[in-house]
């Protein structure tokens, strides 16, 4: 089976940097994805790591280390609109298995 663990809640200040970690116990997956979900909305894709290392997409960056079974999402220059839930996910046979989710609250 697939198991992905994330911190349940994180609070950060507007303009700051925050890191959301994801540790997993899985095998045979193709990469680690990150999704954002605002309350009442659909999950939307943020970033994907097929290989170890850092991927940067604007204010968002994601990192993967397969040897450590660990990844993280880095959000820079936090904005109030970044308050949402963030999920890591592994793609296995064209299906996504999601982490437990992290609720990010950005405060002024």
41 sits near other proteins (criterion: CB under 8 A) = yes
Pick the binder of other proteins from 13, 25, 45, 107 (CB under 8 A). Answer: 45
Binding mask 83-102 for other proteins (x = CB under 8 A): ----x-x-x-xxxxxxxxx-
Is position 51 an interface residue for other proteins (rule: CB under 8 A)? Answer: no
Place of tokens 């992905």: 4
Question: What secondary structure does DSSP assign to 60-99, as a single string?
Answer: EEEEEETTTTEEEEEE-S--GGG-EEEEEEEEETTEEEE-
Closest separation between CB of residue 35 and other proteins, Å? Answer: 8
CA 75 to chain centre: 10
Q: Could you identify the residue written with the tokens 């990192």?
A: 63
The site for other proteins (CB under 8 A) is made up of 30-33, 41-45, 48-50, 87, 89, 91, 93-101
């Amino acid at each position: 089976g697939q198991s992905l663990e994330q911190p349940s809640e994180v609070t950060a200040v507007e303009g700051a940097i925050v890191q959301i970690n994801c540790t997993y116990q899985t095998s045979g997956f193709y990469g680690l994805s990150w999704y954002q979900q605002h309350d009442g909305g659909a999950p939307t894709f943020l970033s994907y790591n097929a290989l170890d290392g850092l991927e940067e997409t604007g204010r968002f960056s994601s990192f993967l280390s397969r040897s450590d079974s660990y990844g993280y999402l880095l959000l820079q220059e936090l904005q109030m609109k970044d308050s949402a839930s963030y999920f890591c996910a592994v793609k296995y046979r064209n299906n996504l298995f999601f982490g437990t989710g992290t609720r990010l609250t950005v405060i002024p």
